[in-house]
Amino acid sequence: MAKYSKAPKSSVIYYDIPSVENVFLYTEGGLHPIQIGDSLQGGQFKIVNKLGYGAYSTVWLAMDSSQNRLVALKVLRGDVSLVGTEAKLAGILAAHQDRHLLALPEQSFKVEGPNGIHDVVVLPIAGPTLSQYMEGLEEHRLPVNIRNRAIQEIVRGLACLHQAGFGHGDLHTSNILLRLPDSYLKNQEDLLACIGSPVSEPVMRMDGKPITEHAPELVFLPAKFSFPGHFDGSIVIADFGSTFKTSDDEGNARFSVYAPTAAPERLLGKKIGLPSDIWSLACAIFQLISGKELFESNRNTSQMVLFEIMEVLGKPSEDWWLRWEKVAADLAITRRDAADCNNGPEKLDEMIDDLDDLTTDKELLKDMLKRMLTLEPEERLTIKEVQEHPWFCSL
């Protein structure tokens, strides 16, 4: 796994730019400033477009001149040390039949810049994230055939990880990519045409002074994929920055993850494990079916998401309070906050009942999700039990 320190933050005040990485992270120990046309690794990789960004990295579309192909380059912050878990995982799973469902690195190298020395991971090119693709659909809902295949492959990909003794640590629809149609992978000109030209915004300091070498002159919006055909639902699970080995206690440290899909034990800052992935998987399955996040909140803080969990699943049991009350109190969550909640997951039942065009058995879906969303981690289904559940088998 990667080792993280507290995020560096520039002392320079920049104008805010929506839909791009946090510009304040362009400082010593932070993000590496990259521009379209830049070359990395002695000219082997030339930057073509921006694919995405996260708290710890930016991701770029690049041309690999050594093999005349397009690849994705994930460029990590200067204070983030890649210590080989992803590479180790790629080696362990090399012969696994579902290895193709995981976007693991093909190689890595380092690049030095004004903000430090940065690890760069070379990944196979893939399509948009599920969340990006769903944003453009009516009610954000996937067609049934795409949805069912995506769920099947997400579960198989996670099973591949768990069988190897690893947890993903931050599974959600923004970390799951749709696989590109083979025709576009074989025809790079068509692929570039469908991705379109880079879209940029200037970086400006609020004090009016010139931009220093630590920040780029331009930042780029993630490319929007526009394919005349449709995706078939085949996916790859990506972003293994929070991946942990189940035998490694260090893997259970608290990282910055997407709170609405994080398990309660992670929100409370406690030890996580494979059951934490099962919780996140349940959240992803619900979103793929309904087009909505299961635990929505105006502010995606640990406290607000825990409030929403109690609203949807009902008030915690007495045993849960005995185990978690002290740490919950650190987030200003008390028994009084749960007093008005239902005694059980009635709201979850209602949310599923409201899906009038669901083609699978609603009662089986309720049963599976409830057993994946128990507050006590050890009571959740395992990934093997999810695969064997009648609802999953009906897809």
Instruction: For 93-115, write each residue's pLDDT tens digit.
Output: 888 899 999 998 888 999 999 99
Instruction: For 340-350, write each residue's pLDDT tens digit.
Output: 777 778 899 99
Q: What is the pLDDT of residue 356?
A: 80
Q: What is the pLDDT of residue 252?
A: 47
**Is residue 42 pLDDT above 90, yes or no?**
yes
**Is residue 1 pLDDT above 60, yes or no?**
no
- Considering the chain, what percentage of its residues have pLDDT values greater than 90? 57
Q: What is the pLDDT of residue 303?
A: 83
Q: What is the pLDDT of residue 358?
A: 84
| Among candidate residues 147, 155, 185, the one with its CA nearest the CA of residue 291 | 147
**Is residue 262 pLDDT above 70, yes or no?**
yes
Out of 21-25, 274-278, 354-358, pick the least confident: 354-358
Burial class (CB in 10 A: 0-12, 13-18, 19+), 319: exposed
Q: Tell me the mean pLDDT in the region 127-147.
A: 89
Q: List Cα–Cα distances, 190 to 46, 63, 78, 186, in angstroms.
A: 18, 14, 35, 9
CB 13 within 8 A of CB 26: no
DSSP SS3 for 250: helix
Q: What is the pLDDT of residue 256?
A: 67
Q: List Cα–Cα distances, 51 to 9, 34, 196, 300, 384, in angstroms.
A: 23, 13, 11, 24, 33
Instruction: For 319-348, write each residue's pLDDT tens digit.
Output: 888 777 777 777 777 777 777 777 778 899
Q: What is the pLDDT of residue 253?
A: 46
| Among candidate residues 81, 67, 68, the one with its CA nearest the CA of residue 110 | 81
Q: What is the pLDDT of residue 221?
A: 96
∠ CA 8-11-49 to the nearest 5 degrees? 60
Instruction: For 379-389, write each residue's pLDDT tens digit.
Output: 999 999 999 99
Instruction: For 55-96, write each residue's pLDDT tens digit.
Output: 789 999 999 999 999 999 999 999 987 656 777 788 888 888
Q: What is the pLDDT of residue 268?
A: 86
Average pLDDT, the chain: 88
CB 76 within 8 A of CB 2: yes
CB 235 within 8 A of CB 150: yes
Bridge-based pairing of strands 2-3 and 81-82 is: antiparallel
